[in-house]
Amino acid sequence: MRRTFIASILFLSILLFVLARKAAMRGATFASILLIAIPAHADDASPLPNTTILELKLGFFEPRVGDSPGVLGNPYVQTFGNSPMLLGVLEVDRSLLHAYGYLGVGLSVGYGEKYAKALLADGTPSGEATGLIVLPIRAMVVYRYDVLAHVMHIPLVPYAELGPVLYPWWTEKGGSVEIVNGEKGSGFRFGWGFSLGLALELDFLNPTSSREAREDAGIHHFYLFGEFNDDFAANFGGAGINLGAAYFAFGIAFEF
């Protein structure tokens, strides 16, 4: 139990390290990780079977278009107002090592769109709609610290995800892809992104049903979760539109 506690501290330290924006803070955090990593590594928790987790989540997503190179104003706000788009995401994770926490890979695909009236020259709304559509795709390394739930029976699973992102995107006006002076408003943006989240394992609500779901349908756990995401989808500072965003998402997941 002591080692589990130490490992919990380790996980939280890693989260702090990822979140720390300044180099000095990262250095201090890294040192603390080293100090506690060795005893935690000695833990001999028994391996669990590798599992797959399917997640459905919704988030409110407002891309950092105003941070695009060369952009003076904020075309997103100018067009759509201060209103984020609703983003739906389907994610599948698969563990590769499930001994001390859940270490695996994941792939997610999302869809978000935002529409408003295109503007006339005087800035008033016209009779046709314009839209921005994004299709965020992520490949991730996933770590879920499910030791709290499995060993200490605390139904909380903190987790972190990190990996490259690809953002196919397009704009529409009048029902088709917007073209301005022969330039098509569509393309891909890439970069990287991470997520930090906390899942609530729902088994405790009805242990009998949970056991039956595991035995009959092979579903090990159900979760509700919330997470913070930050995607840097701007071609690592290259020219073009910045579609990255920091956003919260919430959803349901089941592990089988």
Partner 1 sequence: MGLLLPGVTFGQTVTLSVDGASTTVGTATVTTPTIAGNGTDCGYSVSGSWTGTSLTSACTSLQIWLTTSSCGTAPSTTNSPADVVVYTAQAGTLAGGLTSDSFSFVFDTLPSFSTNSCGSAVDFTNVLCAAVTIAATGGACTGTTAEASPVNIRYDNVLPDPPTVSVVPLDTQLSVKLVAAGSGTTASDIQYFQVQYALELPDGGLGDYITVGGNIAATSGRVTISDLVDGNSYVVVGYSVDEASNVSANSTPVVGTPVLTYGFYSNYLDDGGQQGGCGDTAGGGPSTVGFLIVVVFAAARRRG
**Residue choice 14, 40, 65, 85 for contact with partner 1 (CB under 8 A):** 65
Find, among 243, 127, 141, 252, the residue nearest to 190 by Cα.
243
Choose one: 7-15, 64-72, 192-200, 209-217; the region binding partner 1 (CB under 8 A).
64-72
**Residue choice 12, 31, 139, 152 for contact with partner 1 (CB under 8 A):** 139
**Residue choice 17, 30, 188, 228 for contact with partner 1 (CB under 8 A):** 188
**Residue choice 44, 183, 215, 216 for contact with partner 1 (CB under 8 A):** 183
If one asks whether residue 206 binds partner 1 (CB under 8 A), the answer comes out as no
**Residue choice 186, 192, 202, 228 for contact with partner 1 (CB under 8 A):** 186
If one asks whether residue 166 binds partner 1 (CB under 8 A), the answer comes out as yes
If one asks whether residue 81 binds partner 1 (CB under 8 A), the answer comes out as no
Find, among 84, 143, 136, the residue nearest to 111 by Cα.
136
If one asks whether residue 86 binds partner 1 (CB under 8 A), the answer comes out as no
Residues that bind partner 1 (CB under 8 A): 50, 65, 68-76, 78-80, 94, 96, 105, 107, 116, 118-121, 126-128, 130-132, 137, 139, 163-164, 166, 168-169, 171-175, 178, 180-181, 183-190, 234-235, 238-241
